[in-house]
Structure 1
Amino acid sequence: MRAMLCGLLLFSIVTSAQPADWQLYKADDVTTVEYRRSDAQLLQIRAVTEADSKISAFLHLLEDTASISNWVANSEKAELLAKPDGNTHLVHTYFSAPWPVSKRDMVTQSVWQQDAASGVLTLLISDMGEHFPPVNGYVRMQQVQGQWTLTPLGNGRIKIAYQGQADPAGKLPRFIADKVALKATLSTFKQLSQLLAQYQKPYSGISE
């Protein structure tokens, strides 16, 4: 009995430390956006969609920083700061915001790899903002983390999944920050599927 009670107590401690269950924000025939709170109470977002596209098109789109405002909601511009190797990009992204919310920016590093057997591409995003000076007029976002996963479905179709989080920083009420982030994610995914058609060409190191 004592062992059972100890086991139940341990189970309750472990489960209570897990993030909350995912909650549905919005969904349609191909796109789903969900959210939850991390242990640190940061908003985590998960989004999934499907598109008629090559995986290489996604990487070409990411590298076209001049066109970021065409698909990433609320983005002003992006600057490629460095490309240490063919799989790694260091990017500074600037975001607009409606008054009275201050503009935001973030500096991130993305590193991709493709599984040779399955063809699945994984792109990890990490925060590099603390290594660069703040920009006047912008609030530097913190604790930016994310992962993109692109999975071949056959017949020229792929599944695109994203999960990430970020601290908007500054004096921004949570309910406003959550609303902006969720709406932006849904808009971004809808634009993403449409724009990929313009980038259907081979990418060095990617097998389709």
Structure 2
Amino acid sequence: MISRIIKLKTSIPYCAILIGLVCSIWSNSVVAQEKWKLADDDGWLKIYTRPMINSKIKSIKVECTLEASASQLVAAIVDIKTCGEWVYSSKKNIMIKQISPLDLIYYSEVTVPWPVENRDYVVHIMVEQDPKTKAITINSPCIPGYVEEKPNIVRISKSVAKWTIVPMEKNQLRVEYLLEVDPLGSIPPWLINLFATKGPSETFKKLRTHVKKDIYKKTSYPSIVN
């Protein structure tokens, strides 16, 4: 029987996962989490946070609407060479392995204000599209190996990040982005607050413009139905 879920191995610029790099921490517990609290509301863009269990660090949820097709948004996200144009604090993004247009492994470094050391990571993202609803789900775990750890840069090894992209009216998308990541090391409270709201806000505002480039409008994928 043909699966009802179309699975695509891919990698979106995982730099997007580090939108709230120092605002989230890994947790294996799934019980009794607090409700999401609205941290910023710009009408089309809403940012929520909630503490992780037994941690002062916060996880992040972003909800927004974007004017684009599903393929258009995916094309913008997987365009690794330009993710520094829209992702907050993105410093370096290097393709490691391109298996197919939607199957990528790459390395990224994120700039973090002094006195905290920069973070880096290697990621491989998985994308699924429901053939009935056309909703696209993008799960993006960090993966080990490929790039040696570097002095004075902290390697991110544990993360949970998920995009949910739902087509609405013609050329309109409802987008949800969830992030939980262990930034490792000691993070000062002022930096937690900075990345919890400013990082997601600036990233998605820039993405809103970035996705409208002609090159993305002209992109299509056989495995993605708009």
- TM-score, normalised to structure 1, is 0.84
Higher normalized contact order (CA 8 Å, seq sep 6+, divided by chain length): 2
- Higher Rg: 1
1:197 alignment partner, SS class: coil
- Alignment check: 8 A CA contact 1:168 1:177 kept: no
Matched AA of 1:107: V
CA contact (8 A) 1:74 1:95 kept: yes
Structure 1 unmatched ranges of 5 or more: 1-15
Counterpart Cα distance in 2 of 1:102 and 1:22: 29
Structure 1 or 2: larger strand share? 1
- The DSSP-based 3-state class of the residue aligned with 1:19 is coil
Report if aligned partners of 1:141, 1:168 keep a CA contact under 8 Å in 2: yes
C-alpha distance 178-169 of structure 1, shift in aligned 2 (>3 A): farther
- TM-score normalised per structure 2: 0.78
Shift of 1:134: 1.0
CA contact (8 A) 2:83 2:90 kept: yes
Q: 2:202 aligns with which of 163, 182, 187?
A: 187
Q: Secondary structure at the match of 2:140?
A: strand
Tell me, in whole angstroms, the C-alpha distance in 2 between the residues paired with 1:156 and 1:83.
28
Is 1:113 matched with 2:131?
no
In 2, Cα distance between equivalents of 1:19 and 1:178: 19
Q: Distance in 2 between the 1:74 and 1:90 partners? A: 20
Aligned length: 193
Percent identity of the aligned residues?
Answer: 21
> Alpha carbons of 1:130 and 1:166: their partners in 2 closer, same or farther (altered >3 Å)?
farther
Task: Provide the residue aligned with 1:44 in structure 2.
Answer: 59
- Superposed CA deviations along residues 119-178 of structure 1, whole A, max 9, x for unmatched, are 111110102146642122311123211000110011211111100111111222244234
The code of the aligned residue for 2:46 comes to T
